[in-house]
Structure 1
Amino acid sequence: MDIQFVRIDDRLIHGQVATVWVKKFNIERILVVSEEVTKNPVRKIMLEQAAPPGVFVNVIPPSKLVDIYFDPLFISTKVMLLFTNPHELVSVVKQGVVFPSVNIGGMSFATGKKMLTNAVAVNQADLEAFEYLATKGIELEVRKVFSDSKQQLMDLISKKKLF
């Protein structure tokens, strides 16, 4: 599998993803990797229909990503991985899925979370997941849109001292 781009964005496929990021990386297939979304048939259908022309979308659980990551059938497919949270990223990394960087585009505020940027809210469990990914040498960069300047997530975390 030729993973071109990995993004955490709890909105998943929306205007920026469908028009800018897909074109920037010449994506052929978007894999939405989420246990929760696979269990929501309406959301799954909406995401599959939100794909830009010529781009296929599949909604799969993390375990399925691990299975197909090693499948020779997908070796040359240019893929974008979309996650809703860092925890499912950790689960696939622990099972051997490799990628050099993760773009954190949007993590909504919820009870128990604190705002890291205007688009990214985290809790203690999120911070622990990001720390794990950083120890694996994965670049963690925050950019809501492609034209934004990259901000290194771990630098933002250390400056904010959230928890």
Structure 2
Amino acid sequence: MISILRVDDRLIHGQVAVVWSHYLGVNRIIVANDEILDNKVQIMALKMSVPDGVKPFFVSVEQGIKLMNNPKSANLKIMVVVNKPADALKIAQSVPNIPLINLGNYGRVGAENMKNKKQLSKNIFVTEDDEKVLKDLIATNIKVNVQPVPSDPDVQLSSLI
């Protein structure tokens, strides 16, 4: 069962691996990202961030959707991490029963041109295209929040757009 679908530029890092995984009690982290599959060094580094007792999977978005829709997944506590809203939208439209889409950190990593981005929160910077995708995410009727860590305020994305 999916506990959370998180959008985070950095994929797995301290906020994800330590804070959220412990808070949610997950035993699986699925990183659904088409680009990462070609970067074995990045996958190795991200695996080192995963706490003991949590099994990571690094798959394409399509493979991730198949994994999440597999009936065997219903017995697991899964955190799904993507690095862009478009991938979150694709998953949200293809996988039932996602309780929460969480925006943690987005728009700063690899961002050469910040002047074309709108700041929605301390950690969220979006282009016009990103904003359209985020509105589509809100339209899925899945709760979408901005909350870097569980102890931060739970801010509904709809209040920021």
Would you say same fold, with TM above 0.5? yes
1:127 matched to 2:126: no
Q: How far apart are the structure 2 equivalents of 1:53 and 1:5?
A: 19
Contact 2:93/2:140 (CA < 8 Å) preserved in 1?
Answer: no
| Matches for 1:92-107 after TM superposition, within 5 Å | 92-107=91-106
Map Cα deviations across residues 53-86 of structure 1 (whole Å, 9 max, x no partner): 1111111111001212222232201100011011
Q: Give the equivalent residue in structure 2 for 1:90.
A: 89
Q: How far apart are the structure 2 equivalents of 1:87 and 1:14?
A: 21
Contact 1:32/1:60 (CA < 8 Å) preserved in 2?
Answer: yes
Q: How far apart are the structure 1 equivalents of 2:49 and 2:124?
A: 23
Q: How far apart are the structure 2 equivalents of 1:105 and 1:96?
A: 21
Contact 1:100/1:137 (CA < 8 Å) preserved in 2?
Answer: no
Stretches of structure 1 that go unaligned for 5 or more consecutive residues are 158-163
Q: How far apart are the structure 2 equivalents of 1:74 and 1:145?
A: 25
SS at match of 2:121: coil
| Matches for 1:1-163 after TM superposition, within 5 Å | 2-109=1-108, 110=111, 111=113, 112-157=116-161
The worse-fitting range, judged by mean Cα deviation, of 108-117 and 142-151 is 108-117
Contact 2:28/2:55 (CA < 8 Å) preserved in 1?
Answer: yes
Map Cα deviations across residues 116-161 of structure 1 (whole Å, 9 max, x no partner): 212110011111111111111011111112111111112111xxxx
TM-score (norm 2): 0.90
The worse-fitting range, judged by mean Cα deviation, of 16-25 and 68-77 is 68-77
Q: How far apart are the structure 1 equivalents of 2:77 and 2:95?
A: 18
Q: Give the equivalent residue in structure 2 for 1:161.
A: none
Sequence identity of aligned pairs in percent? 30
Q: How far apart are the structure 2 equivalents of 1:53 and 1:145?
A: 20
Contact 1:66/1:97 (CA < 8 Å) preserved in 2?
Answer: no
Stretches of structure 2 that go unaligned for 5 or more consecutive residues are none
* Distance of aligned partners of 1:76 and 1:6 in 2 relative to their CA distance in 1, 3 Å threshold: same
Q: Give the equivalent residue in structure 2 for 1:160.
A: none
The worse-fitting range, judged by mean Cα deviation, of 111-120 and 148-157 is 111-120
Q: How far apart are the structure 1 equivalents of 2:62 and 2:41?
A: 21
Q: How far apart are the structure 2 equivalents of 1:125 and 1:23?
A: 33
